[in-house]
Amino acid sequence: MLNLIMQAAPAGAPPNLIQSILPFILIGFVFYFLLIRPQNKRAKEHKAMLAAVVRGDTVVTNGGLIGKVTKVKDNELTLDLGAGVKVKVVAGMLADVRNKTEAANDTAKK
């Protein structure tokens, strides 16, 4: 077996630089297209979803709580979980927006 390996490479022939680096470049492309690019796309979609959350939306948190958004302030949301239970949630912890509603007109005077 060792004799076969020794015969495969001629003695004194330097390895080609392209042949030695090419597998690493191919692995880099595979990682980019199968792992990095889809993750960046999901992160961008999640960020857009968070930016579009308005009062009145029904949302699901990462912990599984389902509630209606009653207040949006910077990076925090106040959710009404029902029966008078209100919870403050960091906006980044939302998993999904279930029912998208029209934006509430908070600036209109009565």
**pLDDT tens string 32-48:** 999 999 999 999 999 99
What are 19's two structure tokens? 């042949």
What are 77's two structure tokens? 């949301």
Write down the residue that tokens 């509430």 correspond to.
104
Q: Render pLDDT for 54-65 as a digit per residue (tens, 0 to 9).
A: 999 999 999 999
Bridge pairing between strands 66-73 and 94-99: unpaired
Q: Which regions of the chain does DSSP assign to beta strands (E)?
A: 58-61, 66-73, 76-82, 85-90, 94-99
Which pLDDT score is estimated for 103? Answer: 60
Which pLDDT score is estimated for 58? Answer: 95
CATH architecture classification, 54-99: Roll (2.30)
Distance between CA 12 and CA 50 in Å, rounded? 61
Q: Render pLDDT for 71-110 as a digit per residue (tens, 0 to 9).
A: 999 899 999 999 999 999 999 999 999 977 666 566 655 4
Q: Contact 62/94 with Cβ under 8 angstroms?
A: yes
